[in-house]
Each structure stands twice: as structure tokens, then as C-alpha cells.
Amino acid sequence: MATHTIETPSEFDAVIFRGGGCRCFWQAGFWSVVAPALALRPRTVLGASAGAAFACAALSGRGSEIVSAFRRRTARNPRNVYPTRALRRQPVFPHEAIYRGTILDVLDAAALAELHRGPDLRILVARPPAERALVPTLVAGFAAYKFDTSVRGRLHPTLPERLGFVPELVSVRACESIEALADLILQSSGLPPLLPIYRREGRVVVDGAIVEHALFEFTAQHRATLVLSSKPASAPVHAPGRTYVAPSRPPPVAMWDYASPERIGPTFDLGRRDGEAFLAQRARPRPPSTHVV
């Protein structure tokens, strides 16, 4: 008689990888421990900014490769800014070349095929209002994001959207090549002047993190969402249907530090330790009504 294996549904049917630049190496470490232990099989995964890159690495099974690839490239880069390059009309910041190069080092055709077969993976970009002067609009948008998060203390900023920035979620399945996927990840991370001003389908796109509220609207109908942050939470976060996880202490590497390869491994290792602590906490008996964050 034929037998059939019945898969147990994954506890989390959605996962969000928030932005945070190099701090997102913490996410890679956390995922490497927690995903296999919980047999995570989400039907939806969303990423914004650098979180998009780490979502792609995680779902294609390249989490450890992104650590070694970035470390190799940053080992050849002693500084985060090269002012004299401006005299030669060359990029002052090395970030785009290292970022794009790392993506192309880690992801290949097999990884892209795995991403196409996997969960519905979408990457967030932000569209500035087209009818306004670009540079002042971008300055206002990023200032609004900073004000919302740092001054008002909002977990998920909404002020940039009120200024006219529009969120747009792009499916990774729309990317037919690794180069197209690298373009999309960089577009989601676009933070001038560290990265250039990017255009998608002829229109400007910038860092999706400034409109990340859209990620939570998209997962509102999901049963349970795991939210991976990249910096310590100032206070525990409780939200129905969401479990937030964050570093237990500030990650060793700074957000846009592309010149400290020795700090990448410790950031990844911090994620692994926090992942182990997360699993241990969940293993302890607790009242049914308690929401673990």
C-alpha cells in the first residue's frame, strides 16, 4: 500500500527581512540556526534594502557564502571614502562595486532557479513623487524617515509616504538573470550618495526601507510573521500575528562600513548566538497567552 508524507505547516507563513546595511549579517547568522531548527517554510518572504540581499542568500542556501564573499572584497578595501577620486571623475564611495560584486559572487543561475521555485519572495523599492525636484525631494524623504525613527521613535515610519513616496514590491520571479536580480537589490538599497540614483523602468527608485510600512500591510492577512531586524530594540515589541527578533546587543559592524572585514564574522556569530537563545526561550514552558519577541 502506498504511503504519503504529510508536511507539518511552517509555524511562520511570512518572513520579513528588514534593512540595516552590514548589520544584516546578523540576520544571516540568526537564520542559519533558526530556519533548520523550526523547519521554516514560509509562503511569503519580503525584503527591503540590505535585508533583500540577505533574504535572497538565505532562501537560496547561500547564507555562509555571502559572509565569506563580502569579507574577501572588503579585505581589499582600506577606506569607506576616497575624496581624491572626484578629481578623476571616479566614484568617491566604493560601496556599489563591492555590493554588486558580492551579489554576483554569491548568486548564480542555480541560486536564481532555487529562488524562483521557493516562496513568493518580493523586494521593496520606494518611488519618489515624480512631479517634484529630485534632489530636494530625496533629502526631504530620507530626513523624514530619520525623524520618524529617531525623533518620534516610530518602529515603522510613515512620514515619507505622507510626503508622496510610494512603495512598490517587485517579485524576484520577475528577474530573469542574476544581473537583473542584482539591479533590483541595489535599487532597494539606493541611498545617495553612497550608492547612485537608480532608475527602474525609466523612473527613479530609492531605498525601500523608508516605506517599509508596506511590508507589514502586505503580510496583514498572513497567520504568523517572523520579522528580522538588524539593530537592538529599545523595548520589546508586541503586535498580533508578528514575532520580532533583533540583536541582543549592537552588531560589531556599522551599517555602511565596507572597510572592516574583521567585524563581519563576529556579527554573523552574534546572530547565531541570538538564534540559539531564541530557540531556547521558545523551548521553555510559558503561558499560552504569552507572545514571544
**Per-residue pLDDT for 257 more than 50?**
yes
DSSP state of 87: G
Q: For 6-10, 45-49, 91-95, 253-257, which range has the lowest pLDDT when averaged over its residues?
A: 6-10
The residue with greater pLDDT, 21 or 4, is 21
Contacts from 276-283 at CB under 8 Å and sequence distance 24+? 276/33, 277/248, 278/30, 278/34, 278/245, 279/33, 279/34, 279/37, 279/38
* 214 contacts 231 by C-beta, under 8 angstroms: no
pLDDT in tens, 97-112: 999 999 999 999 999 9
pLDDT in tens, 216-242: 999 999 999 999 999 998 777 778 899
* 277 contacts 37 by C-beta, under 8 angstroms: no
- Residues 289 and 275: their CA atoms lie apart, in Å, by 22
**Per-residue pLDDT for 3 more than 60?**
no
**Per-residue pLDDT for 7 more than 50?**
no
* Strand ranges (E), 105-263: 120-127, 166-171, 198-200, 203-207, 225-228, 242-245
**Per-residue pLDDT for 126 more than 90?**
yes
pLDDT of residue 292: 40
- Residues 192 and 185: their CA atoms lie apart, in Å, by 15
For residue 117, the surrounding DSSP H or E stretch is helix 109-117
For residue 44, the surrounding DSSP H or E stretch is strand 44-48
Average pLDDT of 174-191?
97
pLDDT in tens, 29-84: 999 999 999 999 999 999 999 999 999 999 999 999 999 999 999 999 999 999 99
3-state helix, strand, coil in the chain (%, to 5): 45, 15, 40
